[in-house]
Amino acid sequence: MNKEFNFADIVLVDFPYTNQVQSKLRPSLVLLDTQDSDLLIARITSKKVKSDYDIELTEWEKAGLSLPSYVRIHKIITIEKTLAKLKLGTLQSLDKETVQSSLKHLVSLFS
């Protein structure tokens, strides 16, 4: 597997639950390839959720996902690149722009 990733790539990862005991194999969105051995990723779910930090993907099929999906930009972790089991696809332009805008809003809350 290619070990270089870009923002908006979708990878399959064993994503840990917040209790750090259990995990689930799920698609995740690459937010940043740190140019070392790590990736910063956000969880993707098919469960319909609605908060200010959940982004509905409009072109989920073109992005390589098998179900309608939501990016949970407030569910972020750092993983080793070796834990990315498979690259499923990449967000399309409109979804990519929506995620970028939402991330900027989220980060602005800290300033």
Cite the beta strand spans of the chain per DSSP E.
9-16, 23-33, 38-45, 54-56, 70-80, 86-90
pLDDT in tens, 59-102: 999 999 999 999 999 999 999 999 999 999 999 999 999 999 99
pLDDT in tens, 11-64: 999 987 777 788 889 999 999 998 999 999 999 999 998 888 999 999 999 999
Q: Which fold would CATH assign to domain 9-108?
A: SH3 type barrels. (2.30.30)
Task: Give the domain ranges of the chain.
Answer: 9-108
> What is the reported pLDDT for 45?
95
pTM for this model (two decimals) = 0.92
